[in-house]
Amino acid sequence: MDRDTVHLSRVMSHALRHAPGRYGLTLDAEGWVPVEDLLAGLGRHRSAWGALAPVHIERLIERSDKPRFEVRDGRIRARYGHSVPVRAVRERTRPPRLLYHGTTPQAAAKILVEGLRPMSRQHVHLSVDEQTARQVGARRSRHPVVLTVRAAAAHEAGVAFYKGHEQIWLADHVPPEFVAAPNDRDAFLLDGSQ
């Protein structure tokens, strides 16, 4: 995607995940808003976007490397990552055996004691591979820590997991017994459980 499209995607994420009121939007309980309302809000934010039409939003979504948005029946919502009170209806799904969480060294120490919590978001975000988790952690630290989550074992113990998209899984909370630091990973995976 070109720079303008990336910028538009970021502004749409901001509008649909964090500050709908700033764009004159009112999300329903599941985060949906009419596409026309979003377009009007974007046009108020940046006059050049006043000429955007629903087809432009559809093309942006089709070309995106990550499915951040969902469009249905003339409405749009962000698929995950809300900091505003929106509760998308999600179906509990069995996750892969392992998932990963990239974070700062300071946060990792706390997570190993308290488990993974959503903090300012509605869900904990987990990556399907270490590389993606490292990229996420690198947003907050020059020396990110990648924690391993025994997701299948946690699921068996009753922890709810939801599929965000192909690279991201969501959870309400992951207790510390299912989370391992990089130096504990081998022992953690060989303990005889999932």
pLDDT digit string, tens, across residues 62-114: 888 777 888 889 999 988 766 665 555 668 899 999 999 999 999 999 999 99
Token reading at 121 = 């978001």
Token reading at 70 = 């969902």
pLDDT digit string, tens, across residues 10-39: 899 888 888 888 888 888 877 888 999 999
CATH class of 99-189: alpha beta
What is the fold, at CATH topology level, of the domain defined by 3-78? Arc Repressor Mutant, subunit A (1.10.10)
Domain 99-189 in the same topology as domain 3-78: no
Q: Give me the residue spans of the domains in the chain.
A: 3-78, 99-189
**Full-model pTM:** 0.58
